[in-house]
Amino acid sequence: MFSMADHLESAESRRPRLGILFSGRGSNCQAIVAAVNSGHIPAEIGLLVSNREHAPGVAWARQQQLPLRIIASAGREREEYDREVVASLREQGVDWVCLAGFMRLLSAYFIAAYRNRILNIHPSLLPAFPGLEAQRQALEYGVRYSGCTVHLVDESLDGGPIIAQAVVPVLDTDDETALAARILEQEHRLYAEALRYMLSGGYYLQGRRLLRAPAPSATG
């Protein structure tokens, strides 16, 4: 017999469920799914959401038969849209949300619904070059190093506490495409690492700083 206690225990002990939101190519989404499938990230895929029906990532997700919802955002009011997305994520029991090239700002409602459980990846060393076309901004500024950042999402634009960063040198021969491609390689690796770290729970927040929690001592 399957008792209520068994049921509660299995819900408690299940792996954390991820929601992944994207708008375009979806290569970061694919990297996260691959890391989940290989067991590198101890989680389950709860739901993929695209706000664009014709995003290349959508075709891929369909091919893989992943749980997917297209929730088109064009012309919709921000919070009203976010309420539908959050409801869909909750329906699938999603615990953590990964923004993977999701080109929309989240409302305060969404951020509060998943406070400190929404991650984003951005193709620069934040706080440098937030917003759109970060690689182009880096080239135009003339920095020698750029890279990518995984951070928690708060109400500011690309401004939440930083989880992890990877540095990529800017070469004299770089154009936007070449630099973006080398950064993207690092993004795929970094996103999986950062997510794995967050799911381990071994951290705490001190103001903006995300610090590694000391390991519990053997004697307690």
β-partners of residue 211 are 204
30/43 with CB nearer ligand GAR: 30
Please give the residue ranges that form the binding site for ligand GAR (CB under 6 A).
22, 24-28, 100-101, 121-123, 134, 158, 184, 187
Amino acid at residue number 164: A
User: What's the start-to-end Cα distance of the chain, in Å?
Assistant: 38
Nearest distance in Å: CB 176, ligand GAR: 11
Sign of the torsion angle spanned by Cα atoms 200, 160, 96, 8: positive
Nearest distance in Å: CB 24, ligand GAR: 4
20/94 with CB nearer ligand GAR: 20
181/213 with CB nearer ligand GAR: 181
CA distance 220 to 14: 27
Nearest distance in Å: CB 100, ligand GAR: 5
Q: Is residue 118 within 8 Å of 150, Cβ to Cβ?
A: no
Residues with Cβ within 8 Å of 75's Cβ and at least 6 positions away in sequence, in order, are none
Catalytic residues, by residue number, are 122
